[in-house]
Amino acid sequence: MSMFEDSRYRWRETYFVLFDAKKRPKLANVTKTLSALNKHFQLTNQNADDEGLVDSVTLISPDDYAALDICYTAGPEVLEQGASLVEDLRKAGADVLPPVPWERIKQYDGRFDVLHFEQVPEDVEDGAEEDGMLDPSALLIALGALARLVSGVAIDPQAGTFLTEE
Q: What are phi and psi of 93, to 5 degrees?
A: 75, 35
Q: Structural domain tally of the chain?
A: 1
**What phi and psi values does residue 125 have, to the nearest 5 degrees?**
-75, 155
Tell me what pLDDT residue 166 has. Answer: 46
Output the pLDDT for position 1.
62
User: Rounded to 5 degrees, what are φ and ψ at 15?
Assistant: -115, 165
From residue 30, alpha-carbon distances to 56, 114, 119 in Å are 10, 13, 23
Cα dihedral 9/13/19/21 (nearest 10): 50
**Calpha distance 143→155 (Å, rounded):** 9
Q: By mean pLDDT, which of 15-24, 85-94, 143-152 is the weakest?
A: 85-94
pLDDT tens column, 33-87: 999 999 999 999 999 999 999 999 999 999 999 999 999 999 999 999 888 888 8
Instruction: Give the range of the structural domain holding residue 51, as residue numbers without chain letter.
Output: 3-123+132-164
What does the pLDDT read at residue 105? Answer: 84
**Phi and psi of 151, rounded to 5°?**
55, 45
Rounded average pLDDT over 150-164: 81
Question: Is the pLDDT reported for residue 130 higher than 60?
Answer: no
Are the C-beta atoms of 41 and 137 separated by less than 8 Å? Answer: no
CA-closest candidate to residue 16, choices 95, 101, 109: 109
